[in-house]
Amino acid sequence: MMLSDRIREFLQRLTPLTRSNLLTELERLEVSGDEIPGVSAILENLRAEFRANGPTTDRMGNPSRYFFAPCEPLLVDGAPEHANSGRIQRGSMAPIWEWICRDLLPTMARDYIAKLGELVASDNLREARKVAATFQTKVFKSIESTLKSTDGADQIRAKLAFYTTSQTAYGDMVKMLCVLRTSEPLATFNEALPVKIDKFDDASVAKITRLLDAFGKSHAEALPFALALVAKRLKTPWHLMYLATKAAPSKNAADVAAARYALAVSMVLDRLDDRRVALRVVLRNNRILVAKEILADIYDTDYALRVRIDRLEESDWGARLDNLMGATAVLVEAEVRRFPDNVGHVLGSRRRRDHRSLAVRLSHLALKGRDAITRRVSQPAKSQA
């Protein structure tokens, strides 16, 4: 019997949900950069089975999709370790669902799954959403009660560790609670946003800031998620930083960091890290033209951050940016070195530009001059003494 046949036979002994969760976990490890010898054949078999069902959330089945519906706009397939609280890793949903169904509320979960299956089969989607909302409340109250106990958090971490090796699953579970608690106001905020923000100019920034301010008055704990929803509407993702830079008294990194929505800058860096991870994956799969597009996006974001935030190099943001760009340079150099010196490489022309070059310094001075003129014109003229 061939190795692939033995693997296929082993996988078929597992339940469909277990195979789906295994695929989710293996893909999470792949994105994280972890190398697992011999895993390619398993991934090939699992992807062949579930490819027709689309993304991970579809593979998880209707009951979990309805349950996690409030979180869906906030799920990301990105770098696994990010500190900000506005993102939830999509890969965490499967182990959290397993924990809910097998450990937290197994009887209620079975009843919910059976009832939802009947409603979906009869195309009663409105009632299905109500049943999901009721189960969300039960799960929320159960987790809240567990967390109030002395070792509740440790208990949950231990249980989740049985279903995933990810260190972010517990944090994502906590974020899930916040989203479930504020699902209705978050949905209302999301509906108030423009469908697409092509130009994030001063008027647009002011409008979005007013929406964020109003939302934050009653739901400050969910502001990071509101920022994440704004980010999804932007045509140019790094423009999210304007919510911080335009509110700060100056463009110095220290002033921007003290602005109310300074988290927006961290989110831009998070996305940059996601793009670095994506670059690593596509290079590993020899998708060079896609890599070129990703690399161009990375360089554009790097340039924007350095030009629009003064003294960035003195901040934690600057240190993180340097680390990210250094890691990106290592990936690019490793790819280019695979070819002889006399053979050109499509990524060779996309190597990192020196942000201290004359062109960048001139652009920086031009932006600073424009900002100074704008501020002077917007200030009311002082009366003559």
The answer to whether 361 touches 307, Cβ cutoff 8 Å, is no
pLDDT at 57: 41
Domain ranges of the chain: 3-184, 196-377
Distance CA 92, CA 167 (A): 10
Average pLDDT over residues 246-275: 94
pLDDT at 302: 95
Dump pLDDT digits (tens) for 7-53: 777 777 777 767 777 777 776 666 555 566 667 777 777 777 765 54
Distance CA 8, CA 46 (A): 9
Handedness of CA 310, 312, 314, 315 (dihedral sign): positive
Distance CA 273, CA 305 (A): 14
Distance CA 379, CA 154 (A): 55
Angle between helices 223-233 and 263-284 (to 10 degrees): 60
pTM: 0.77
pLDDT at 34: 58
User: Six-digit token pair at 259?
Assistant: 């602005």
